[in-house]
Amino acid sequence: MIKELEYHAAHDLKEALELAEQFGPRKRFLSGGTDMTVRLKEGLVKEDIIVDLSHVAELRFVREESGVVHVGAGATHADLSASPIVRQHGLALALAASRVGGPQIRNMGTIGGNVANASPAGDTIPALIVLDAVVSITSRTGTREVPIIDFFTGPGRSVLAAEELVTEFHFPATGPGELSAFGKLGARQAMTISTANVAFYFRIGGDRRIVEARIAFGSVAPTVVRAHKTEQMFCQLPPLLSWDAIRGAAQMAWKEVAPIDDLRATAVYRKEAVVGLLAEAAYEALASCWHER
C-alpha cells in the first residue's frame, strides 16, 4: 500500500521553485512518475511531500539555437526519439531515448527523471556524456551549469541540492563529419533495463581518420563512465573500414571497465557485452558515414 502523502502540483517553473524551497528535503519531485510510482509502491520513498512537475510546460521543449541543442528536463523519451533536431544533431540521445522501456514508459518518462535518478543503467546518461552535455540546475536564487560527467556522485546520488531541480540539458549540435550512436543489451529486446549500454561520438577528419572520440559505458560501474583508453584506440585506427581493426580497438574496453556480478549478469558477461556492443555500433556508424562521403 502507498503511504499517505501531501501532494502539490506546480503549474509553472516559478511555483515549482517556490515549492522546492518551501519544502526542501521533505519533498520529492515527480515528473513522468514512471520510476516514482514503482518506488512509492515498494515503500522506498522516505519523503512525505510530492511536488508534481508534470504540468510545468516550460520544462518540456527541444530547440536548437546558434549551434547548441537545448532539451528541457520535462521532454519525454518519445519527444526525444521523434525530434528531428535531436535525430540530426545528437543522434545518440534519440537512439537512447528510443530504447527506454516500452511505449508507455517512453510517453511518460522524462529525460530529467532519467538523469535525476542517477542510475548507472540510465540509458540517456551515456548519450548525454558523449555529446558533452551540460546540466542546468535551478533554484529560486538562480541557475548553475554542471557538466553531465560531474553531476553524479555515486549510484542514485548526484550534486542536486534539496531546493534545486534539473531544468535543462544543452550540448553542441553535431554537424557534418560528426557521428554519434547508442547501443544497449538487456535481458530482452524491449522493455528492459540495460545489462550494459554504450554511447559514442566520433569526429572524422578529411582523411577518414577519427580525430576525436568520446565513449561512455553504462551498467559497468557505480556511475556511467568515460573510456579514455578505448577512445585513444579509436583515434589510432587506420582510415580503412576493417571489422578486425574496429573490434581490436573496442577490445580495450574489456580492460577499462570494472563491472560487478549482480542479478542481471556476471562481470565477465558485461565486459564481453561492452566490447561487442561498441564494435558493432561503431562499425555500422562508420560504414554509413564513409558510404555517404
Ligand X SMILES: Cc1cc2nc3c(=O)[nH]c(=O)nc-3n(C[C@H](O)[C@H](O)[C@H](O)COP(=O)(O)OP(=O)(O)OC[C@H]3O[C@@H](n4cnc5c(N)ncnc54)[C@H](O)[C@@H]3O)c2cc1C
What strand order describes the sheet that includes 134-139? Answer: 62-65, 68-72, 165-172, 134-139, 142-147
Q: Which of 10, 32, 151, 170 is the binder for ligand X (CB under 6 A)?
A: 32
CB-nearer residue toward ligand X: 152 or 202:
152
Q: Which of 113, 120, 126, 259 is the binder for ligand X (CB under 6 A)?
A: 113
Instruction: Burial-class residue 80 by CB neighbours within 10 Å (0-12, 13-18, 19+).
Output: buried
Q: Is position 112 an interface residue for ligand X (rule: CB under 6 A)?
A: yes
Q: 220: left (phi > 0), else alpha (psi -120 to 50), else beta?
A: alpha
Q: Is position 122 an interface residue for ligand X (rule: CB under 6 A)?
A: yes
* Sole window of 22-30, 173-181, 200-208, 253-261 interacting with ligand X (rule: CB under 6 A): 22-30
Residue 61 and residue 79: Cα distance in Å, rounded? Answer: 9
Question: Residue 78 contacts by C-beta under 8 Å, 6 or more apart in sequence?
Answer: 97, 103, 106, 107
Which SS3 state, helix, strand or coil, does residue 13 take? helix
* Sole window of 113-121, 141-149, 200-208, 225-233 interacting with ligand X (rule: CB under 6 A): 113-121
Q: Is position 146 an interface residue for ligand X (rule: CB under 6 A)?
A: no
- Report the nearest approach of ligand X to the CB of residue 27 (Å): 9
- Report the nearest approach of ligand X to the CB of residue 279 (Å): 22
Q: Is position 116 an interface residue for ligand X (rule: CB under 6 A)?
A: yes
**Cell numbers given for 107:** 510517453
Query: By CB under 6 A, what part of segment 181-200 binds ligand X?
Result: 191-193
What φ, ψ does residue 255 adopt, rounded to 5°?
-80, -30
**Cell numbers given for 48:** 512525505
Which positions lie near ligand X, rule CB under 6 A? 28-36, 38, 53, 73, 100-101, 105, 108-110, 112-114, 116-117, 122-123, 160, 165-166, 191-193
